[in-house]
Amino acid sequence: MNEASNALPSLRSRLDALAVAGVRNLGIPLVAIAIFVGAWSLAARTIQVSFGSLPGPAAVATEIGHLWQDHQAERAREQAFYERQAERKKAFLEKNPAGEWKERKYAGRPTFFDQIGTSLKTVFTGFVIASLIAVPLGVLCGLSKTFNLAVNPFVQLFKPVSPLAWLPIVMILVSALYNPAHPLFEKAFLSSAITVALCSLWPTLINTALGVSSIDQDYLNVARVLRLGWFAKVWKIVLPASLPLIFTGLRLSLGVGWMVLIAAEMLAQNPGLGKFVWDMFQNGSSQTLAQIEVAVLVIGLIGFALDRAMLALQRAVSFGSQAR
């Protein structure tokens, strides 16, 4: 009885503390967002741009609805197209069974949501290319001082180069080198992906090299005592030991890649979010400006989600550091 009455207040005070923390951690950001939205609508009402007023939060919310309806309508049109084509094919084959029917693809306009998909595909392609180059290179840099000295000037030289400078070179090279009869990828897609790769290579490369070169000497001694071969050493000791830093690098790389992608798509005219923004800008109406604002929010949200996903991965590979 006595104990219960003692336990109750302490439980209550704990719950209170939790509630306070909850209100703070959730409440403050919410208030901040509310202030931002308020300031934004105020700005929208007061700032005049060439074609009227700056779209505010309400206009943006409506545009999200419009973009979604657009997407639905486009999908319906696509389905209708394929249904009609199927009917025509049937009729054609009934008339001349030996004849050859040529399937056609629906050549509709990509919607905003299609473009999100393309952007994600492009950024992941670039990111995978970058990782496949940067991780092995980083491991070699971390293992060999000589190799590191050889690679370092290039890292220092090319790391600060803007994607806008890479892109023309990449586009010209892609045009010159990639001319298959039945292209698997669009040239614009390849150019964007390669540009993303070129710019997002560096964080992974640098962090992998750092991770590998700072491996605990004790782990390497284990490899030496066991006389592990070079590949076994890298695979069983070096890579796992530097995974936390490799993933730190990958996370930074994906962030850089996503930022670079939008610029690359604008210039390369790859059908993604960057091109969407550019097209809307060319239209230059109040409605398209609102759509650009939607795009900005979506780009931010996707970037945030990518970062969280990578953070989760990074945590998953960071084994207890006290484990020695």
Partner 1 sequence: MSAFLDISYITKTYGAKSGPVTVVREFNLRVNRGEFIALIGHSGCGKSTVLSMVAGLQAPTTGAIILDGKEVTDAGPDRGVVFQSPCLLPWRTAYENVALGVDQVFFTSSRADRRAIVEYYLSVVGLADSMHKRPAELSQGMRQRVGIARAFALSPKMLLLDEPFGMLDSLTRFELQGVLLDLWQRDRTTALMVTHDVDEALFLADRVVMMTNGPEAGVGEILEVDFPRPRDRGTLLEDPHFYELRENLIGFLNERSHRKPVAGPPPSLVAAGYA
Cα-based distances in Å from 110 to 7, 115, 267, 270: 62, 6, 18, 11
- Kindly state whether residue 243 participates in binding partner 1, applying the rule CB under 8 A: yes
**Is residue 241 a contact point for partner 1 (CB under 8 A)?**
yes
Using CA atoms, how far residue 118 sits from 15, 83, 189, in Å, is 47, 25, 9
Binding of partner 1 by 214 (CB under 8 A): no
- Which one, 1 or 323, has the nearer CB to partner 1? 323
Q: Which residues contact 247 (CB under 8 A, 6 or more apart)?
A: 310, 313, 314, 317, 318
For residue 322, state whether it binds partner 1 (rule: CB under 8 A).
yes
Q: How far is the CB of 140 from partner 1 (least distance, A)?
A: 22
Question: Which pair of tokens denotes residue 241?
Answer: 């030991």
Q: Which of 43-51, 84-92, 223-231, 273-281 is the region at the interface with partner 1 (rule: CB under 8 A)?
A: 223-231
Helix (H) or strand (E) holding 48: strand 48-49
Radius of gyration in angstroms for the set of CA atoms belonging to the chain, rounded to a whole number: 27
By CB under 8 A, tell whether 313 contacts partner 1: no
Q: Does 230 bind partner 1 (CB under 8 A)?
A: no
Residue 300's nearest CA partner among 259, 271, 256, 252 is: 259
First and final CA of the chain: distance in angstroms?
Answer: 47
Q: Contacting partner 1 (CB under 8 A), which of 110, 117, 240, 255?
A: 240
**The one segment of 15-23, 184-192, 237-245, 252-260 that binds partner 1 by CB under 8 A:** 237-245
Q: CB-wise, 177 or 323, nearer to partner 1?
A: 323
The smaller minimum CB distance to partner 1, of residues 117 and 240, is found at 240
Task: Name the residue with tokens 């054609």.
Answer: 92
By the rule CB under 8 A, 231 interacts with partner 1: no
Contact residue for partner 1 among 31, 226, 297, 311 (CB under 8 A): 226
The least CB distance from residue 221 to partner 1, in Å, is 6
- Report, in Å, the least distance between residue 143 CB and partner 1: 18
Q: Is 64 exposed, middle or buried (0-12, 13-18, 19+ CB in 10 A)?
A: middle
CA atoms within a 13 Å half-sphere pointing along the CA-CB vector of 105: 3
Q: Does 222 bind partner 1 (CB under 8 A)?
A: yes
Binding site for partner 1 (CB under 8 A): 216, 218-219, 221-222, 224-228, 232, 236-237, 240-241, 243, 319-324
